[in-house]
A and B are shown apart, each in its own frame.
Chain A
Amino acid sequence: MSYPVRKFDAVIVGAGGAGLRAALQLSEAGCKVAVLSKVFPTRSHTVAAQGGVGAALANMGDDSWHWHMYDTVKGSDWLGDQDAIEFMCREAPKSVIELEHFGMPFDRNENGSVYQRPFGGHMQNFGAGPPSQRSCCAADRTGHAMLHTLYQRNVRSNTHFFVEWMALDLIRDESGQAVGVTAMEMETGDVVIFHSKAVLFATGGAGRVYASSTNAFINTGDGLGIVSRAGIPLEDMEFWQFHPTGVSGAGVLITEGVRGEGGYLLNKDGERFMERYAPNAKDLASRDVVARAMATEIKDGRGCGDESDHVLLKLDHLGEELIESKLPGIREIAKKFANVDPAKDPIPVVPTCHYMMGGIPTNYRGEVVSPAGDNKEAIVPGLFAAGECACASVHGANRLGTNSLTDLLVFGKSSGNSTVKFLKENASHKDLPRDAGELTRERLDRLNSQTNGESVAEVSAALRQTMQKNCGVFRFPELLENGVAEIKDVEQRVMRTEISDKSKVFNTARIEALELDNLIEVAMASLVSAEARTESRGAHDRADYAERDDQNWLKHSLWFKEGNRLDYKPVHMDPLTAETIEPKVRTY
Chain B
Amino acid sequence: MLFRIYRYDPDKDAKPYTKEYELELGSTDRMLLDALTRIKEMDDSLSLRRSCREGVCGSDAMNINGKNGLACITPLAELKSPVELRPLPGLPVIRDLIVDMSQFFKQYHSVKPYLVNEDPAPDTERLQSPKDREQLDGLYECILCACCSTSCPSFWWNPDKFVGPAGLLQAYRFLADTRDQSTSERLDNLEDPYRLFRCHSIMNCVDVCPKGLNPTKAIGKIKDMLVKRMV
Partner-B contacts on A (CB < 8 A): 39-40, 42-45, 47-48, 97-98, 100-103, 105-114, 138, 141, 144-145, 148, 152-153, 155-156, 187, 216-218, 249-250, 252-253, 329, 332-333, 336-337, 455-457, 499-501, 503-509, 512
Give every chain B residue within 8 A of A145 (Cβ-Cβ). 140
Interface size class of B (residues with CB under 8 A): 35 or more
Q: How far is the CB of B152 from chain A (nearest CB, A)?
A: 20
Report whether B125 and A113 are in contact in the complex, using a CB–CB cutoff of 8 Å: yes
Q: How far is the CB of A201 from chain B (nearest CB, A)?
A: 19
13 additional A-B pairs beyond A45-B52, A155-B114, A456-B44, beta carbons within 8 Å, are A39-B49, A39-B59, A40-B101, A40-B144, A43-B58, A47-B52, A105-B136, A156-B114, A249-B28, A457-B44, A504-B11, A506-B96, A506-B98
Q: How far is the CB of B47 from chain A (nearest CB, A)?
A: 5
- Whether B193 is near chain A, meaning CB under 8 Å from some CB there, is no
Q: How far is the CB of A39 from chain B (nearest CB, A)?
A: 6
- Whether B17 is near chain A, meaning CB under 8 Å from some CB there, is no
Q: Do A97 and B41 form a contact, CB below 8 Å, given A39-B59, A333-B54?
A: no
Give every chain B residue within 8 A of A216 (Cβ-Cβ). 51-53, 57
Most A-side CB within 10 Å, residue of B96, B130, B132? B130
- Residues 1-42 of B, flagged 1 when their CB comes within 8 A of A and 0 if not, give 000000001111000000000000000101000000000110
Q: How far is the CA of A42 from the CA of B54 in the complex (A)?
A: 14
- A and B contact pairs by CB, cutoff 8 A, 7 listed: A45-B52, A98-B121, A105-B177, A108-B132, A457-B40, A500-B45, A503-B45
Q: Do A505 and B94 form a contact, CB below 8 Å, given A40-B105, A114-B125?
A: yes
- Whether B179 is near chain A, meaning CB under 8 Å from some CB there, is yes
Report whether B47 and A508 are in contact in the complex, using a CB–CB cutoff of 8 Å: yes
Q: How far is the CA of A499 from the CA of B44 in the complex (A)?
A: 7
Give every chain A residue within 8 A of B132 (Cβ-Cβ). 108
Report whether A108 and B133 are in contact in the complex, using a CB–CB cutoff of 8 Å: yes
- Whether B226 is near chain A, meaning CB under 8 Å from some CB there, is no
Q: How far is the CA of A110 from the CA of B128 in the complex (A)?
A: 9
CB-based closest 8 A-B pairs: A103-B115, A112-B127, A509-B44, A501-B45, A152-B114, A43-B57, A457-B41, A100-B125
Report whether B30 and A103 are in contact in the complex, using a CB–CB cutoff of 8 Å: no
Partner-A contacts on B (CB < 8 A): 9-12, 28, 30, 40-41, 44-45, 47-59, 73, 75, 94-96, 98, 101, 105, 109, 112-115, 117, 121, 123-130, 132-133, 136, 140-141, 143-144, 174, 177, 179-180
Report whether B52 and A500 are in contact in the complex, using a CB–CB cutoff of 8 Å: no
Q: How far is the CB of B101 from chain A (nearest CB, A)?
A: 7
Question: CB-nearest residue of chain A relative to B28?
Answer: A249
Question: CB-nearest residue of chain B relative to A218?
Answer: B51
Give every chain B residue within 8 A of A218 (Cβ-Cβ). 51
Q: How far is the CA of A92 from the CA of B78 in the complex (A)?
A: 45
Give every chain B residue within 8 A of A98 (Cβ-Cβ). 121
Q: How far is the CA of A387 from the CA of B173 in the complex (A)?
A: 29
Give every chain A residue within 8 A of B41 (Cβ-Cβ). 455, 457
Report whether B53 and A103 are in contact in the complex, using a CB–CB cutoff of 8 Å: no
Q: Do A144 and B123 form a contact, CB below 8 Å, given A105-B133, A105-B140?
A: no
Q: Do A107 and B113 form a contact, CB below 8 Å, given A48-B57, A217-B53, A509-B44?
A: no
Report whether A503 and B115 are in contact in the complex, using a CB–CB cutoff of 8 Å: no
Report whether A500 and B44 are in contact in the complex, using a CB–CB cutoff of 8 Å: yes
Report whether A153 and B114 are in contact in the complex, using a CB–CB cutoff of 8 Å: yes
Q: Do A97 and B123 form a contact, CB below 8 Å, given A42-B143, A153-B114, A156-B114?
A: yes
Question: CB-nearest residue of chain B relative to A148?
Answer: B140
Q: How far is the CA of A333 from the CA of B30 in the complex (A)?
A: 13
The answer, among B56, B73, B133, for a CB contact under 8 Å with A47, is: B56
Q: How far is the CB of A159 from chain B (nearest CB, A)?
A: 12
Give every chain B residue within 8 A of A110 (Cβ-Cβ). 129-130
Q: Do A507 and B57 form a contact, CB below 8 Å, given A40-B144, A103-B179, A148-B140?
A: no
Report whether B127 and A113 are in contact in the complex, using a CB–CB cutoff of 8 Å: yes
Q: How far is the CA of A152 from the CA of B127 in the complex (A)?
A: 21
Q: How far is the CB of B44 from chain A (nearest CB, A)?
A: 4
Q: Do A507 and B47 form a contact, CB below 8 Å, given A40-B144, A101-B121, A249-B28?
A: yes
Q: How far is the CA of A249 from the CA of B26 in the complex (A)?
A: 13
Q: Do A336 and B55 form a contact, CB below 8 Å, given A105-B133, A155-B113, A505-B11?
A: yes
Report whether B95 and A505 are in contact in the complex, using a CB–CB cutoff of 8 Å: yes
The answer, among B9, B57, B113, B129, for a CB contact under 8 Å with A152, is: B113
Q: How far is the CA of A244 from the CA of B112 in the complex (A)?
A: 40
Q: How far is the CB of B27 from chain A (nearest CB, A)?
A: 9
Question: CB-nearest residue of chain B relative to A107?
Answer: B133
The answer, among B53, B95, B126, B144, for a CB contact under 8 Å with A101, is: B126
Give every chain B residue within 8 A of A105 (Cβ-Cβ). 133, 136, 140, 177
